[in-house]
């Protein structure tokens, strides 16, 4: 398991304030203390003047950590580089990587990731971005390369291209949870397994819908409430199933939902904003759902009339 840092710097969706930084640092330190050293971020994380704030905070926390970090490579920072329309050359994409390294104040990233594919709307740009990943890897700016929001067909294409350039594709990040387990996600997992690519599951808790904290009369603040209002009313069966299994296991609903991802062979990266989030998420480790419990959860999930909205940049 790793932890996601989308909320770190995002005021619009997650209500970030700079006063949260001290607790975010506690989250980082507690994660490392418990063996979690994968942190997912992006050069686009942070709203307005706080753009890049997630990376800056991670860099600060690495420098100030009093814990088990012996070298920067002990922390795996997985940064996603946005496929902005003005990033048209491989050199511009490499410069994006260098800017992330500057914000993080480290010499090398754990994983450099293409945040999304441009195949659906700017296919000519796609090759330049792939070449940028190759250059990052060849220059030693990243230890590994990965992609995000790629479907199975496009994943096969980039894997083949990178292999022809002598660069292994290490990871593929996709929305994956009990609310996002359609045919395409399962096909992508099969393709990843066949290629030796690790699937990283973002939003494993469905933006919080699978935590059991919310209902129609208790919605989150901000834009998430619109999505919750559409989907939550149809989740009674799934949430009841999660609650029942959680009670039998002595776990929380969040821990059961994350453990399902782990049992499917994915690396979940739930987001964390508080120490309580970290403590709860850590409880998803060290045990496994039974095959019957997995089937029970998936049967309940299939009954949900509405699933999570897929990322607009998700490709086939």
Q: Residues 281, 1: contact at Cβ < 8 Å?
A: yes
Strand order from edge to edge, sheet including 142-148? 3-4, 38-42, 76-81, 109-114, 142-148, 169-175, 198-202, 267-268
DSSP one-letter string for 175-199: E-BTTB--HHHHHHHHHHHHHTPEE
45 given a catalytic annotation: yes
SS3 24: helix
Question: Residue 112 contacts by C-beta under 8 Å, 6 or more apart in sequence?
Answer: 79, 81, 97, 133, 136, 137, 141, 142, 144, 145, 146
Annotated active-site residue in 16, 45, 137, 214? 45
d(CA 78, CA 92) in angstroms, rounded, equals: 19
Tell me the catalytic residues.
Answer: 45
């Amino acid at each position: 398991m790793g932890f996601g840092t989308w909320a770190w710097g995002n005021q619009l969706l997650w209500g970030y304030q700079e006063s949260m930084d001290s607790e975010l640092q506690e989250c980082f330190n507690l994660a490392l203390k418990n063996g979690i050293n994968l942190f997912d971020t992006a050069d686009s994380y942070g709203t307005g003047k706080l753009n890049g704030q997630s990376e800056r905070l991670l860099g600060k926390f690495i420098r100030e950590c009093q814990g088990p970090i012996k070298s920067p490579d002990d922390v795996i920072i997985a940064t996603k580089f946005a496929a902005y329309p003005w990033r048209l050359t491989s050199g511009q994409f490499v410069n994006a990587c260098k800017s992330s390294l500057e914000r993080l104040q480290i010499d090398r990233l754990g994983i450099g990731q293409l945040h999304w594919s441009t195949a659906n709307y700017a296919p000519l740009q796609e090759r330049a971005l792939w070449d940028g990943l190759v250059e990052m890897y060849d220059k030693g700016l990243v230890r590994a390369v990965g992609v995000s929001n790629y479907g199975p067909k496009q994943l096969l294409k980039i894997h083949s291209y990178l292999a022809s350039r002598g660069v292994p594709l290490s990871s593929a990040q996709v929305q994956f949870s009990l609310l996002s387990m359609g045919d395409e996600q399962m096909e992508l997992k099969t393709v990843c397994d066949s290629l030796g690519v690790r699937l990283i599951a973002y939003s494993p808790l469905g933006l919080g819908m699978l935590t059991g904290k919310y209902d129609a009369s208790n919605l989150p603040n901000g834009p998430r409430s619109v999505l919750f209002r559409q989907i939550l009313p149809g989740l009674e069966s799934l949430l009841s199933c999660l609650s029942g299994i959680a009670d039998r296991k002595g776990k929380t609903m969040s821990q059961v939902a994350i453990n399902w991802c782990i049992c499917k062979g994915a690396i979940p990266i739930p987001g964390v904003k508080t120490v309580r989030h970290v403590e709860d998420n850590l409880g998803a480790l060290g045990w496994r759902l039974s095959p019957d419990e997995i089937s029970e959860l998936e049967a309940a999930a299939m009954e949900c009339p509405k699933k999570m909205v897929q990322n607009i940049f998700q490709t086939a």
